[in-house]
Amino acid sequence: MSEPTSVVILTGSTASGKTKLAIELAREFGAEIVGADSRQVYRDMPIGTAAPSPSQLREVRHHLIGFLDPHARYSAAQYASDAIAALGDIRKRGKRAIVAGGTGFYIRALIGGVALAPQYDGVLRDRLAREATTHPPEFLHGWLEQRDAARANALAPNDIYRVLRALEVALASPGQPAPPRTLTSGGYAFLLVFLDLPWAVIDARIAHRIEQMLDNGLVEEADRIGERAVAATAVGYSQVHAYLRGFSTRSELRASLERATRRYARRQRAWFRGERATLWLSPESVRDAVREKLGWSSKRA
């Protein structure tokens, strides 16, 4: 199997250093990066999504970062299709590929570990929208738990958009169009790595990141995106909008952002505990694992 048919999937909890390490690996091994973050796909909101900076995007070619309008809907099925297309383009050019991001359902869809609903099922979606107007979030989350306990466990009950989308996937009837191609069906070998750092390190990084986000204009960014945007369901934006409505002080906002981000980080870790293919490594160990398990060597001069 030639090297371009092997893919490194680099994931981890938020603030674990995925972006920085992915760029370092891409430079060392001559690779391009395909994003795997359900909110970094949206443009004009790089602060709240911790998207790669302009200089990082110039340093290494990235795919599926900042290309969607914040009001557009995007599914795991569409992501898997777009990611396979990006990987195919990278492979045709003889380059290696690194998939980097923390959205577990996107990565599972890309690998081929979940049966996906069609990219859009209008009838089912309308039905679920009506259910959402008559039932509280806890009811919808409980419904999802009955149909897909693993997915429900990875979602907060008040994350209405993702809960409804997960229900749409879980309730899709048989006989729908075939799901998109995946790494497995496309003949790719892959190494799935979760960056394993102590919680004390992650929590300290989260606190520092939140402070930087607020200093860099998170409040203004959230205000510009608005509450109605699909992308506004990203972690942190609801807290900022509550602050903008006068429901919290600046210090309370900072504390609530830290709490929400820490909870999200723990859900990410719990999700990948359920992925049997995951290799749990310290950031310092990833290079050796890539060389040993995929046979990658440093790029030629």
pLDDT of residue 174: 47
pLDDT of residue 122: 64
Q: What are phi and psi of 251, to 5 degrees?
A: -70, -35
Which of 268, 280, 278, 263 has the alpha carbon at shortest distance from 197?
A: 280
Contact 301, 47 (CB under 8 A): no
pLDDT of residue 76: 87
- Encode the chain (301 residues) as per-residue pLDDT tens digits: 445 689 999 999 999 999 999 999 999 999 999 999 999 999 999 999 999 999 999 999 999 999 999 999 888 888 999 999 999 999 999 999 999 999 999 999 999 876 555 555 667 777 788 888 878 888 888 888 888 888 888 888 888 888 888 888 777 654 444 555 789 888 899 999 999 999 999 999 999 999 999 999 999 999 999 999 999 999 999 999 999 999 999 999 999 999 999 999 999 999 999 898 999 999 999 999 999 999 999 874 3
Q: What are phi and psi of 141, to 5 degrees?
A: -65, -40
Q: How far apart are CA 177 and CA 280, in angstroms?
A: 35
Residue in the structure block whose two tokens are 């990235």: 62
The DSSP letter of residue 44 is S
Q: How far apart are CA 184 and CA 131, in angstroms?
A: 36
List of domains in the chain: 120-178 (1.10.20.140), 199-266 (1.10.287.890)
pLDDT of residue 175: 47
